[in-house]
Structure 1
């Protein structure tokens, strides 16, 4: 593929913004019993978690995540371990942090975190999920399916799409990730992994257009 063919058009970015906005849940952060930072390639999750802790929104912060092919090189000791270290650097006290170092997908993030909290004698009624910005909706849908007895709120770094793509440094990858997460929002309820979420027609049209344009490296089965 040539450089010209790889160039992302303004129209494609406009479609991506529709999907980006859909992924963001728009929840107002309020005090909760516990926050769970979901492991990923994005250290901004740990930074956002630390900011919210320092704002006094929760007493316990749990980081969850082992490794994946996309994070092993960056976080060789595991996502949750590196997230904890970053949060400590940002002023979160060690006694406030729990680490779940084994989860390999979002479903495991939720179930393993729930089990670790229970083992610590913590049975929360309210949980704040801190994730990558475009993963808020899928995280919410997964938690509502697997942990229906808790009230779930979502948060992420307060970034717009242009800021996020600059922080990642790979424009095409950002679009691939937006498309891949929306595919999971659509398909995972059919597999019992998450609750169903209504997808507005303009968002679905944008998704189909970007799929046709080949932004599918993070699609299921890729």
Structure 2
């Protein structure tokens, strides 16, 4: 069970993590690997809407995806996109990245090697990873326009799809902590965190939603 206050606090974090960008055509889309095949499905839908001519799916495997996606996140994403009608000629696979920074830097290198001209990137991620992905891409890929996207979904619907409110709130808290820590470590650009969001984050930490936190060595 979760208290009404914690639910409201989690909703604040959910809303903050999304960039609320207006979608527009871009040079390429990056589908960031994870356990969520919905990222591949949303990327495929955006391709069919004419939002980009080329897709890069990026991601190796992790402890949470090894059984579900044994051939690697990017490979499974590509397979799902092809099932949905995306032509194989429109998809590149980057199979080595193990974190968001590598997703961006390895995809950038792959596109340069392919001779693709990139002035804008449609960055497709899980809903609660939009802002961190944006902050990472802004740091590692300066000079290109970044447009963030994810599967349109309400917070309560996402919780239902995952099946664990504890896990979802833990992930929201972990993503917020990284937005606070990573600029100092040179991983991301700094994002302004509104006071109500910071206070909600602190309350959720106090309530024990901490399984996705990383050690703060600063």
| Band the TM-score falls in, shorter-chain normalisation | over 0.9
Segments of 5+ residues of structure 1 without an aligned counterpart are: 1-6
Shift of 1:39: 0.3
Q: What is the TM-score of this pair, normalised by structure 1?
A: 0.96
Tell me the equivalent position of 1:132.
Answer: 126
Residue pairs, 1:87-126, within 5 angstroms:
87-126=81-120
RMSD of aligned C-alpha atoms? 1.0
| Aligned-pair CA distance for 1:221 | 3.8
How far the C-alpha of 1:123 sits from its partner, in A, is 2.8
Which residue does 2:169 correspond to in 1? 175
Q: How does 1:179-218 map to 2 (within 5 A)?
A: 179-218=173-212
Per-residue deviation at 1:69?
1.0
The equivalent of 2:61 in structure 1 is 67
Partner Cα separation in structure 2 for residue 85 and residue 134 of structure 1: 24
Give the Cα–Cα distance (whole angstroms) in 1 for the partners of residues 187 and 64 of structure 2. 22
Deviates more, 1:67-76 or 1:107-116: 67-76
Q: Which residue of 2 aligns with 1:27?
A: 21
Asked whether 1:220 is paired with 2:214, we answer yes
What's the offset of the Cα at 1:170?
Answer: 1.4
Which of structure 1's runs of 4+ aligned residues deviate more than 4 A? none
Query: Residue 102 of structure 2 aligns to a residue in which SS?
Result: helix
2:38 aligned to which of 30, 44, 62: 44
Listed as ranges, the gaps of 5+ residues in structure 2 are none
Shift of 1:11: 1.5
Moved more, 67-76 or 55-64: 67-76
Describe the SS at the equivalent of 1:128. strand
Once the two structures are superposed, residues 123-181 of structure 1 have per-residue CA deviations (whole angstroms, 9 ceiling, x without a partner) of 30000100000000000000000001111010000001011111111111000000000
User: For 2:2 and 2:53, how far apart are their aligned partners in 1?
Assistant: 43
For the pair 1:9 / 2:3, whether they are aligned, the reply is yes
Aligned length: 216
For 1:216 and 1:87, locate their aligned partners in 2 and report how far apart those are by CA, in whole Å.
34
2: CA distance, partners of 1:29 / 1:106: 21
Distance (Å, rounded) in 2 between the aligned partners of 1:99 and 1:221: 31
Give the equivalent residue in structure 2 for 1:3: none
